[in-house]
Amino acid sequence: MNGGLLVAGTTSDAGKSVVTAGICRWLVRRGVKVAPFKAQNMSLNSFVTREGAEIGRAQAMQAQAARVEPSALMNPVLLKPGGDRSSQVVLMGRPVGEMSARGYHGGRQEALLGTVTDCLEQLRGTYDAVICEGAGSPAEINLRRTDIVNMGIARAARFPVLVVGDIDRGGVFASFFGTTALLSPEDQSLVAGYLVNKFRGDVSLLEPGLDMLLGLTGRRTFGVLPYAHGLGIDEEDGLRVSMRGAVRESVVAPPHGEDVLRVAVCAVPLMSNFTDVDALAAEPGVVVRFVDRAEELVDADLVIVPGTRGTVKALAWLRERGLADALLRRAAEGRPVLGICGGFQVLGEHIEDDVESRAGRVEGLGLLPVRVRFGREKVLARPVGTALGEPVEGYEIHHGVAEVSGGEPFLDGCRVGSVWGTHWHGSLESDAFRRAFLTEVARAAGRRFAAAPDTSFGALREEQLDRLGDLIEEHADTDALWRLIETGAPEGLPFVPPGAPPAPALASGTSGRPAPDGRGFAGTGRESADVTVTEEAP
């Protein structure tokens, strides 16, 4: 078997990531060697592979669903929004520059098609099947000319396309029909059918509509997935945190001790890797919420300042909203505060930033004896160590380099009283360390909270991925999906008019064609440089 599938969606957040993960888990349980793939991802939630490459967290989670090690091949292009309509472009796991949306879609994106197809072909040469995830909608007609993540990659690989629609939002039939009808005949020939996501109620009431959709488009529906609580995975963006969602939406386990522990996460601008708090929310008796007002910190036992793609902007936001003063009061009262990555940096004495914000020297909150200088090279690492007497592992993604001049050592950062700071993401997923940390927090907060001795975040994540696989196995036509992955889209699928309108012209000065040698991608910021886009993964 050497097949594949593109999971597209009628909209963003239709469920592409969940369905892709579910299909990967279903296939691997059948003994298929499968890999996930997303040509281009836009997200502030990222992960570092063992080779030191930065990819989207959703693809790392999908690799876990497939029971394989994540690699840069699975997400060759990652865009990390930085405000002002620009994003950092991460190519094959390494940042190569800042670029505006107009510059990226004005021809530079299309120049990367050779890179992403090369990555896909390498995966196809190693795995029995590759399950690709699209982005947004394949019917974004203004962007089709330069598309490398939806129909562009499907047509290049001749992969069949399964379109996912979120029926909980309403309008799913119109969305399925409209998505198909706005594609060119060549693209429509690859759209094999549809998958309904998040259905509530009696499926028999939906079936007449599915039959009518078949009559209108000539395409079948491959399954109706029921609405299931607590199945959020590592999100690309937004504030739906996976394990937090599971705690909020399902039966909450009672606290192991006498008290609950309340955690407030400051929802700073350009918040990144907020999945760091998933492991806290998985603990019985820990209540996690995101906040943006100073008064919401009053009853919190722990306040977390999370990572951000805009450290100086986040610092200004904390001051404008009175949250900075509230953090200073907490520290003076000996009440726990944890800063992670960018959040760690804002807790320091000052920041020298001529790279990210180019603001120069900016005074921090002064809660930790740390001075931060931003470097042009991004630190990407998978550190391991000990803290609070327990083993810890995590990952680092940052431009800011911290000089620690005091306090007690804490991972790569420090601790002063009840204020902790570290660049390590993911450290709270280390179960023994998390329990020791929560014990310290409860003691400082005066709470009779006790961490449950048997909570395993890794086991909970595996259970979650198995539930995704169960959804596919129990509610999709897996025999038909198998044939689709193995043999491609059916022949003779009818054209649904009107089809795609004429493509708009590209921005002035761009050809829309990759250079013959695969070069031609350059950023527009201070980090920009010409990049050979056919380089292999690290």
Tens digit of pLDDT for each residue in 381-420?
A: 999 999 999 999 999 999 999 999 999 999 999 999 999 9
**Cα–Cα dist 468/24, whole Å:** 9
Joined tokens for residue 208: 């007449």
Q: How confident is the model at residue 147 (pLDDT cuts 50, 70, 90)?
A: very high
Q: Which residue in 210, 239, 199 sits closest to 471, CA to CA?
A: 199
What residues contact residue 142 under an 8 Å CB cut-off, 6+ apart?
A: 504
Is the pLDDT reported for residue 473 higher than 90?
yes
Sheet of strand 408-410, all strands in order from the earlier edge strand to the far edge: 286-291, 261-266, 302-305, 337-340, 419-422, 413-416, 408-410
350 is catalytic: no
- Which of the four pLDDT bands, split at 50, 70 and 90, describes residue 502? confident
Residue showing tokens 């959703």: 58
pLDDT at 85 (0 to 100): 74
Annotation says 414 is catalytic: no
Q: Which of 212, 190, 261 is nearest to 4 (CA)?
A: 190
Helices marked H in 73-184 — which ranges?
101-103, 113-126, 151-157, 172-181
- Three-state SS at 290: strand
How far are the Cα atoms of 119, 158, 165, 183, 530 from residue 222, in angstroms, in the given order? 28, 19, 12, 20, 44
Half-sphere exposure for 368 (CA within 13 Å, toward CB): 31
Interval 100-112: pLDDT, tens: 766 666 657 767 8
Is residue 523 pLDDT above 80, yes or no? no
CA 339 to chain centre: 21
Measured in whole angstroms, how far is the alpha carbon of residue 2 from the centre of its chain?
27
Q: Which of 105, 423, 425, 475 is catalytic?
A: 425
Judge contact between 44 and 309, C-beta under 8 A. Answer: yes
**Options 341, 398, 414, 423, the catalytic residue:** 341
Of the candidates 380, 512, 521, 509, the residue with the CA atom closest to the CA atom of residue 97: 521
This prediction has a pTM of 0.89
The sign of the dihedral angle between the CA atoms of 228, 229, 233, 235 is positive
Residue 97 CA from chain centroid, whole number: 20
Task: Determine how many CB atoms are found less than 10 A away from the CB of residue 419.
Answer: 23
Contact in structure between 278 and 243 (CB atoms under 8 Å)? yes
Confidence of residue 84 (pLDDT cuts 50, 70, 90): low
Decide which of 510 and 398 is more confident.
Answer: 398
Q: pLDDT-derived band of residue 86, with 50, 70 and 90 as boundaries?
A: confident
Segment 295-306, tens digit of pLDDT:
999 999 999 999
pLDDT-derived band at 1, boundaries 50, 70, 90:
confident
Q: What pLDDT, on the 0 to 100 scale, is given for residue 97? A: 85
Closest CA to 57 of 68, 66, 67, 46: 46
Q: How far apart are CA 171 and CA 208, in angstroms?
A: 15
82: pLDDT strictly greater than 90:
no
